[in-house]
Structure 1
Amino acid sequence: MANPIAPSAPGATAAGLQACGIDVAFAGLRALNAVDLRVPPATIVGLIGPNGAGKTTMVNILTGFQAPSDGEVRLDGKSLAGVSAVDFRRRGIARTFQGGRLFRDLGVLDNLEVTGIGLGLSRRVARVEASQVLEAMGLGALAAQQAGALPYTDERRIAIARAIVGRPRYLLLDEPAAGMSEHEAGELSELIARLVRELGCGVLLIEHNVRMVLDTCSHIVVLDSGQVIESGDPRTVSQSERVRHAYMGTTADVHGGVESVEREREVAA
């Protein structure tokens, strides 16, 4: 049986979603400074950094919610300059938000259906798509529940399910594990990996949970004060003195997470 959320016609030679030389300035303050970032198809890329590093600004740029002061976003090598956030979504670039942003007065299935209609699907097709996504994610039992009555962790999962409606090629997750326990974050990590396998989409994972990022991503980009200070595989990033220094003075858990996960990797090896 065909996977109900598998992409219907994936590009054969997709080059990826790219941020090229992105600058963003607010009232003379530079939030992003010449940032380059690429999310290839079927790959999970992590974006980490201390508070105020520019992570959410980067997500806003990559999804058309904000225009850069300089630089551009490219999809498969083609510039998306001047393209609206709605058209970013219709071109297969989906995102979640830190606060979830579900329609709390609507049912879970209705939340997903509204997204499908916004993508240009008929109401009937949007409802079928919404049902298939919920079932594929193991959330079918929540379809009739009111979104505003969901437990926090279910609300976060439904936000991801809503983003998957329309079978996006790129999925940007803005702190999806915020407020979750390590066990819950581990389950979410497994879900993200499964979605990549089944959808073939590229994922940009933005997280404060460094342990989760190191365990989930094959490539990680580190921002600090709007600049890329490190980029590479989890081992490279976890051993970087620049990354350790950037996290100094934030929280011991985040700093310690880089070291402790690396120790676990060495023991496992």
Structure 2
Amino acid sequence: MVDRYGSDVLSGDWKRPPRGRSVELAAEPGTVVEDVETGWVGAVVRVEKAGGVHVVHLEDRRGRLKGFPLGPGFLVDGAPVRLVPPRVAAEARLAIARAASARTASGSVAVAGARARVARGSRLYVEGRHDAELVEKVWGDDLRVEGVVVEMLDGVDDLAAVIREVAPEPGRRMGVLVDHLVPGTKESRVVDEARRVRPYADHVLVVGHPYVDVWQSVKPQRLGMDAWPVIPRGTSWKHGICAHLGWPHRTQADVARAWQRILASVDSYADLEPELLGRVEELIDFVTAPE
């Protein structure tokens, strides 16, 4: 049937302007637009901020430049547009800013998209698994970029023999991190002997931190303590720490879980004591330095 009264004049988008609704358009260089108010037609040359207002500069076909406030009031092929800052430039600036501010856990500038480098001949040696896991968590990204592998010694009692076995040389340096390296200890005597091993001394660097165990290099505040407790002689240090914290410590599995809780409290270099930070950085510099 024929509708005698026609369609509802208020149905649909009856408020729509004759030329259509304005849409956003990035003011990319080279985009040709027309200013509705003045009729000026030109290609976008640049967008800048002046007096707190974004201004788009248009160049007409005679090479003349004129600035207009960025926003609505422009046409492209007769259709209204609202000019906004160039997305490409804005995204590029954002990407640069993010890259510049991105840091690894060690505080180094992160290298975006970097692949692990083929392993160097030089190596970084630590006493045990906990040392290796802590170094990996904080310096792992840096070591992969540098191609440095961390190996475990399972103690340093026979460090001199290990050095002779590895036989470091130019291009195959050996950096060693030792726990509890303080004057008068067994560790200090072992290290003194290892440093005298010839003909490898020039290609070996042995440094240490003063802590009984690498656990102690984590700032105690991260575990809710003001300081690490003093464990009486005759008591296993790790068991004593677990007991002080109220953690299970009857089995080796309990101790392993305790370490994982401690390791989980470390997010970056800021959670570690400077006595460890300095020594690890020194070793990394040594094993990556050009011969």
TM-based fold match above 0.5: no
Larger helix proportion, structure 1 or 2?
A: 1
